[in-house]
Amino acid sequence: MSDLTRLTAVETAAAIADGQASAVEVAQAHLDRIAVVDGAVHAFLHVDAKGALAQAARGDAGELTGPLAGVPLALKDVIVTRGVPTTAGSRILEGWRPPYDATVTERLRTAGVVVLGKTNMDEFAMGSSTEHSAYGPTSNPWDLTRIPGGSGGGSAAAVAAYEAPLAIGTDTGGSIRQPAAVTGTVGVKPTYGGVSRYGLIAFSSSLDQAGPCARTVLDAALLHEAVAGHDPRDSTSIDAPVPPVVEAARKRDVTGLRVGVVKELSGEGYEPGVQERFDEAVELLQELGATVTEVSCPHFRFALPAYYLIAPSEASSNLARFDSVRYGLRVGDDGAASLEEVMSATRAAGFGAEVKRRIVLGTYALSSGYYDAYYGQAQKVRTLITRDFTSAFESADVLVSPAAPTVAFPIGAKVDDPLAMYRQDLATIPSNLYGGPAMSLPAGLSEGLPVGLQVMAPTMRDDLLYQVGGALEAALHDRWGGPLLASAPELEV
């Protein structure tokens, strides 16, 4: 493995700025790494070697500046990228090359980031294991027989496999944080509206949020700062300054900070090893000077059923645009078929089983006579969950919990059991319903596999995540003798 692929994003940018390596050399080292290991990991759906080397050459010519100039990145395939295949993990968009860039993509280019390619994901971000991709599953670099989480398993796996130091994911119910937890990486869901959704292929418009995936908290903060900020093209974008996330990540001090342990997000349903690593991390926060108390958020236990009414309902509406007429797949058009027949045949062939399941569920929940009983009631529960957060933040600056109830499970173990799969998002969904920021960072190993700790903060206090994350990460690295990923077995390819 090239030493250049082992560097953090901060170290990579410094090496390029100091002339120790060129941006082209860095990009090529990562492309070479992808060529060696991605046949086994399958983190990427499309590798844009030509585009990556061209962007890197611009950096070497002095055309790109900024703290991440020349740093390679893997981009989740739900983020629109001009001229580059963008599928959202679905056959219905196979081969589609968008004519425009998402705001996130634009800001990455402006920051001088080198986009290596597009990463695998559960179709339309609907899943918790990346097994629902139309293009095959991604494997966890810690154990190739296990899942890397989902829906953004490709992004997390690319970072964990040293194929890229940075990645962008999207988080609707935990799709950044849960993959980070099971791959030993750092994943952040920013405050809803903190990062533009323009050009993000929609799953659930009131929940979707793009955010950073990285190997360190500081790397994540730098990427967060690069893509965040107001965008007039997104009506839900927050017109306010980006929280000082980089400064907070460098602070590494939690003295006097009030940390609330969420009573409802631990114990039953969480593997013993996961709970043990979480408890140890909480004790370490106390040793670092934080004040730890238990808080109760009684309506969190209803978050999972509420989410699985709200998200499918919005998906039912958003995915109606894939009608075989304007772009994407078109099946059954023999000249004699009606538009309805072509549309039906196209959706039957283009959508996978999980997407169909959620469209049917959402359509039912929105149907006449059932709207108030299902979707309306779920929105009321969402309000109660928001009130729980508001109340908890009166006595705590941040809340903590395990990021996922289990370590990575074997590929195929839960793919035919939707309810078991949905329960992987027990801890992450509440923050999406509330709209506040949340982070997963490595907390240790259970049975040789990574465990993630989740930090949640009030809306627009994303900096608190990085303050806690930076301090805890530094203390854990001191305890472990380095990053958790350093103890991962080398990939056998």
Calculate the alpha carbon distances from 151 to 38, 201, 255, 291, 337 in Å.
18, 13, 35, 34, 35
* Catalytic-residue membership of 76: yes
d(CA 469, CA 82): 34
CA 8 to chain centre: 19
Q: Are 224 and 190 in contact (CB under 8 A)?
A: yes
CA 463 to chain centre: 18
What region, left, alpha or beta, does residue 136 occupy, with left being phi > 0 and alpha being psi -120 to 50 degrees?
A: left
Please pick, among 155, 175, 237, 440, the residue that the annotation labels catalytic: 175
Token pair 């059991």: residue = 417
Q: Are 172 and 207 in contact (CB under 8 A)?
A: yes
Edge-to-edge strand ranges of the sheet holding 210-214? 44-47, 114-119, 72-76, 166-170, 210-214, 186-189, 438-446, 449-456, 398-402, 258-262, 291-295
* Catalytic-residue membership of 151: yes
Please pick, among 76, 118, 189, 414, the residue that the annotation labels catalytic: 76
Could you give the count of Cα atoms lying within 13 Å of 127 in the half-sphere of its Cβ?
35
481 exposed, middle or buried (CB, 10 Å; 0-12, 13-18, 19+)? Answer: exposed
Q: Are 443 and 476 in contact (CB under 8 A)?
A: yes
For 55-84, b/e burial (b = at least 16 CB within 10 A) is: bbbbbbeeebebbbbbbbbbbbbbbbbeeb
* Catalytic-residue membership of 414: no
Please pick, among 139, 151, 237, 266, the residue that the annotation labels catalytic: 151
Q: What are phi and psi of 114, to 5 degrees?
A: -100, 110
Q: Are 440 and 177 in contact (CB under 8 A)?
A: yes
Q: Which residues are catalytic?
A: 76, 151, 175
